[in-house]
């Protein structure tokens, strides 16, 4: 399958330390109506490190049921123990998801061959499509472009969420892209630039807000209407850095709660609520969208 467009790494709403499935369904329906191209539950934005095993499976099950094949669903499934990651992937195959987003092994910092072997083992264990997530400032290890090219040769590894943090590396991957391999940015502020350089889209936490504009930018770029896309991009580009001034997804959850899309801005420790200062700044720029 071709992965492209605006994909949403959806937040996991909580209320009284329980998953708020009422708000979660409301969010999914809202973003499907806004025209997102794919949905990713249980990514970092979904606070996956704090989600329990039973919650993890229930969230996937609920997501697939609510979406009902209207867009592809890729679940965030990764780890730094290859064996455990394979076990988890095999466990969730029964939920009829379309694929997984799997992060580079973190903390134990494998070399490039270890990274390759990790993803090879995952790919060999499943028929699910796999997007690789390269985010070295979280994992402590960069997936180099040579390794990415090797991984792209594995049949069911179909693309990358590129948050490498090195624009030169990102440009080189786009210029010398593997065949039939989707490149989506995970650096929200690089969305327009990535599309202009031939990228396939973005997996964007900030697309929880101004979603229609993100989708319009992608559609306009597909039509080669770069100037109009740039005009819309300039309307939202200043908002993006504000959403990451304090740890994601706390600023997003505050905005979603402020807009009435979720019942609580609650996060789970070690993520805490945002400061009063950031609340004031966000209140100054976030408007409730009129549907």
* Selected catalytic residue, list 31, 34, 116, 161: 161
Residue with tokens 């709660």: 257
In a domain, 50, yes or no: yes
In a domain, 274, yes or no: yes
Instruction: Select from 271, 216, 237 the least CA-distant residue to 47.
Output: 271
In a domain, 137, yes or no: yes
In a domain, 57, yes or no: yes
Instruction: Select from 180, 183, 185, 184 the least CA-distant residue to 156.
Output: 180
In a domain, 56, yes or no: yes
The average pLDDT across 233-240 equals: 96
The average pLDDT across 192-198 equals: 97
User: The domain spanning residue 35 has which CATH number?
Assistant: 3.20.20.70
3 state DSSP class of 159: strand
pLDDT of residue 3: 97
The yes-or-no answer on residue 133 being catalytic is: yes
Number of domains making up the chain = 1
* Selected catalytic residue, list 24, 133, 192, 254: 133
pLDDT of residue 1: 83
* Domain membership of residue 166 as a residue range: 5-285
Q: How far apart are CA 138 and CA 45, in angstroms?
A: 13
In a domain, 291, yes or no: no
pLDDT of residue 285: 83
User: Would you place residue 288 in the very low, low, confident or very high pLDDT band (cuts 50, 70, 90)?
Assistant: very low
Q: Is the pLDDT of residue 170 over 80?
A: yes
Could you tell me the strand order of the sheet in which 129-134 lies? 38-39, 5-8, 201-203, 182-185, 157-162, 129-134, 99-103, 74-76
Q: Is the pLDDT of residue 287 over 80?
A: no
3 state DSSP class of 208: helix
The yes-or-no answer on residue 30 being catalytic is: no
Residue with tokens 């730094």: 80
Q: What percent of the chain has pLDDT over 90?
A: 97
pTM of the model: 0.96
Residue 202: which H helix or E strand, with range?
Answer: strand 201-203
Residues 260-271: tens digit of each pLDDT: 999 999 999 999
Q: Is the pLDDT of residue 291 over 50?
A: no
HSE value, Cβ hemisphere, 13 Å, CA-based, for 267: 24
Q: What percent of the chain has pLDDT over 70?
A: 98
In a domain, 290, yes or no: no
Q: Is the pLDDT of residue 289 over 50?
A: no
The average pLDDT across 187-211 equals: 98
Residues 96-113: tens digit of each pLDDT: 999 999 999 999 999 999
Residue 70 Cα distances to 32, 67, 98, angstroms: 8, 6, 12
């Amino acid at each position: 399958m071709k992965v492209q467009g605006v994909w949403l790494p959806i937040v996991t709403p909580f209320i009284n330390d329980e998953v708020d499935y009422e708000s979660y369904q409301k969010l999914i329906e809202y973003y499907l109506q806004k025209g997102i191209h794919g949905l990713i539950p249980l990514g970092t934005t979904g606070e996956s490190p704090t989600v329990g095993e039973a919650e993890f499976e229930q969230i996937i099950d609920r997501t697939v049921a609510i979406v009902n094949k209207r867009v592809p669903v890729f679940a965030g499934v990764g780890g730094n123990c290859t064996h455990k990651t394979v076990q988890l992937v095999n466990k969730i195959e029964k939920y009829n998801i379309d694929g997984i987003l799997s992060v580079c092994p973190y903390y134990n910092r494998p070399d490039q061959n270890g990274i390759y072997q990790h993803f090879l083992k995952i790919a060999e264990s499943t028929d699910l499509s796999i997007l690789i997530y390269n985010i070295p400032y979280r994992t402590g290890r960069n997936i180099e472009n040579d390794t990415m090219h090797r991984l792209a040769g594995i049949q069911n590894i179909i693309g990358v969420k590129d948050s490498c943090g090195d624009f030169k590396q990102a440009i080189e991957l786009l210029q010398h892209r593997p065949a039939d391999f989707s490149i989506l940015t995970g650096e929200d502020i690089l969305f327009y630039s990535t599309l202009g350089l031939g990228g396939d889209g973005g997996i964007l936490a900030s697309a929880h807000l101004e979603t229609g504009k993100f989708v319009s930018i992608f559609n306009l770029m597909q039509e080669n209407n770069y100037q109009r896309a740039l005009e819309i991009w300039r309307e939202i580009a200043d908002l993006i850095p504000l959403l990451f001034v304090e740890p994601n997804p706390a600023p997003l959850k505050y905005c979603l709660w402020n807009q009435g899309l979720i019942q609580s801005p609650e996060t789970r420790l070690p993520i805490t609520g945002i400061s009063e200062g950031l609340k004031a700044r966000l209140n100054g720029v976030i408007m409730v969208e009129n549907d």
